[in-house]
């Protein structure tokens, strides 16, 4: 009895093309449809491992760790200076699920700088902020605002130590007027001292002490 052989059905070409398109492991530069480019490691067609991303629109660069398509781990984010065109760092530190999370340093326009903890892309936890006017805040943060216990030092070295809420002095605190040799200790509410006691403090070493000392009660 003759044996009839039927031709095998050819696999559609797109099956093979799809297999080749699936990215896994180290790849050279890969371009997105919008012109963004990525060089680095992949897993299951997602950025995963070490890699560098360049955004075409802003020319910003992220270099660091990736996990399932998002920045996750340690990395740095930089943008080009509009005048010199040289790249300057905006953030260096830890990321989670595409947002700043953990310890990191952020550089703001005008020379301001924050060093400390982040959560979901916002300053939260302990941190130190260097402001453009010369002030320095060191203490606790919550959702991008000083909140908890912290110290604010002014350019003339006078300082406040105490409670904060929503970015304002709030609760028990002390204000050291080192230039005048005085100390105010009291209660604040939304940046306004409500009640307290003013005493001499380091009056002999103060550069501009008051004319008369505060009488002791």
Domain final residue, candidates 63, 80, 107: 107
Confidence of residue 170 (pLDDT cuts 50, 70, 90): very high
Name the one residue in this structure whose structure tokens are 């398509």: 69
pLDDT of amino acid 217: 65
Range in 14-18, 81-85, 111-115 the model is least confident about = 14-18
In total, the chain counts a number of residues equal to 217
Residues 53-93 pLDDT 10s: 999 999 999 999 999 999 999 999 999 998 888 999 999 99
Residue 162 counted as domain residue: yes
pLDDT of amino acid 32: 87
- pLDDT over 90 at 2, yes or no: no
- Whether 136 contacts 129, CB under 8 Å: yes
Q: In this predicted model, which residue has the larger pLDDT, 83 or 3?
A: 83
What is the domain-level CATH number for residue 175? 2.20.110.10
pLDDT of amino acid 7: 60
- Whether 49 contacts 66, CB under 8 Å: yes
Overall average pLDDT of the 95-115 stretch: 96
Overall average pLDDT of the 6-28 stretch: 66
- pLDDT over 60 at 18, yes or no: no
In the chain, the number of structural domains is 2
- pLDDT over 80 at 105, yes or no: yes
- pLDDT over 60 at 25, yes or no: yes
Residue 8 counted as domain residue: no
Residue 115 counted as domain residue: no
- pLDDT over 70 at 209, yes or no: yes
pTM for the full model? Answer: 0.83
**DSSP state, 211?**
S
Per-position b or e across 91-109, b if 16+ CB within 10 A of its CB:
bbbbbbeeebbeebbbbee
Residue 127 counted as domain residue: yes
- pLDDT over 60 at 1, yes or no: no
Token pair listed for 94: 């830890």
- Alpha helices (H) along the chain: 13-21
Domain that includes residue 84, residue range? 23-107
- Judge if 193 and 153 occupy the same domain: yes
Domain final residue, candidates 107, 141, 157: 107
Residue 112 counted as domain residue: no
Overall average pLDDT of the 176-202 stretch: 94
Token pair listed for 136: 């320095």
């Amino acid at each position: 009895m003759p044996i009839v052989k039927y031709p095998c059905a050819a696999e559609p070409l797109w099956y093979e093309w799809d297999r080749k398109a699936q990215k896994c492991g180290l790849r050279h530069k890969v371009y997105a449809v919008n012109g963004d480019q990525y060089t680095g490691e992949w897993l299951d067609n997602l950025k995963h491992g070490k890699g560098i991303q360049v955004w075409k629109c802003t020319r910003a660069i992220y270099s660091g760790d990736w996990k399932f398509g998002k920045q996750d781990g340690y990395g740095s984010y930089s943008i080009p200076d509009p005048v010199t065109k040289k790249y300057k760092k905006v953030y260096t530190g830890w990321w989670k699920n595409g947002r700043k999370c953990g310890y990191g340093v952020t550089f703001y326009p005008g020379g301001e700088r924050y060093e400390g903890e982040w959560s979901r892309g916002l300053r939260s936890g302990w941190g130190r902020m260097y402001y453009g006017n010369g002030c320095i805040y060191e203490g606790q943060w919550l959702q991008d605002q000083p909140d908890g216990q912290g110290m604010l030092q002014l350019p003339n070295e006078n300082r406040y130590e105490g409670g904060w809420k929503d970015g304002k002095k709030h609760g028990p605190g002390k204000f050291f007027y080192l230039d005048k040799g005085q100390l105010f200790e009291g209660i604040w509410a939304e940046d306004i001292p409500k009640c307290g006691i003013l005493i001499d403090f380091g009056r002999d070493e103060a550069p501009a002490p008051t004319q008369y000392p505060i009488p002791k009660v």
